[in-house]
Amino acid sequence: MGKKIFVGCLSYVLAALLVCATANAGLLKGLVGGDKSAGGTTVSTDGLVQAWTTVAKNYVKSTSLLVSSLENAGAALGVKEEVVKKMAVAKSLTEGNLSKKDMEKIQESSKDLLALFNQKMSEVSPLKGQSATLFGKSIIDMTASLGLKAAVGLQATKLAKDSKDASKNVSLKDAGTMKDVVSGSAAVAIVVPVDIKLSKDILKSYVQYAKTHNIAVPNNATKLLKD
């Protein structure tokens, strides 16, 4: 009788251990974020894809602020039409069509406009009224663009590394998506430092002109140029 009770208890213990082991395996699977496959433990791409969406969205927003700044400065200096033509690619930029080629084209256009602005600022009479107001807005927008672009650079650099590491363990189904995340974040991480330098050059010209002609300069614009 005692032997039967012992065997029965042992069966209950083994059953309980099996339930615990199964539950823990499920918990571990959830923490890892994927399933065990022949090639190793796969990882969830959802977080990385969401991070890329954020990077792309912020890059487009910072570019929109850049365009607004250049258009306002162009209007103040009498060359808005030239700005609109040069910034056509920038205005067509969306979260879903970020390409390194387009981003570099925007940089070239911005360089051309900086040269044009410098020429005009040396020729035109001191800005007054609406023109001075528009020029002031161009400083505000460029400052906002720079601040956001700096954050985007940090986000993209981290994401490029994280997504590259994670791509080694994604499922075949998610491989294509991860390839887009890796290449997109890497491209943004490469172009952002050049974007920032160029935007600072433009902002510096703005601020120098504004201070010379008594146009208000926000404190954060001056601070950005010192960083």
Instruction: Please list, in sequence order, all residues whose beta carbon lies within 8 angstroms of the beta carbon of residue 125, skipping any fewer than 6 positions away.
Output: none
Cα distance between residue 12 and residue 16, in whole Å: 6
Domain ranges of the chain: 45-226
pLDDT above 60 for 19: no
Q: Is the model more confident about 97 or about 108?
A: 108
pLDDT tens digit sequence for 27-81: 223 323 444 333 444 456 888 999 999 999 999 999 999 999 999 999 999 999 9
Token pair for 105: 């084209």
pLDDT of residue 13: 35
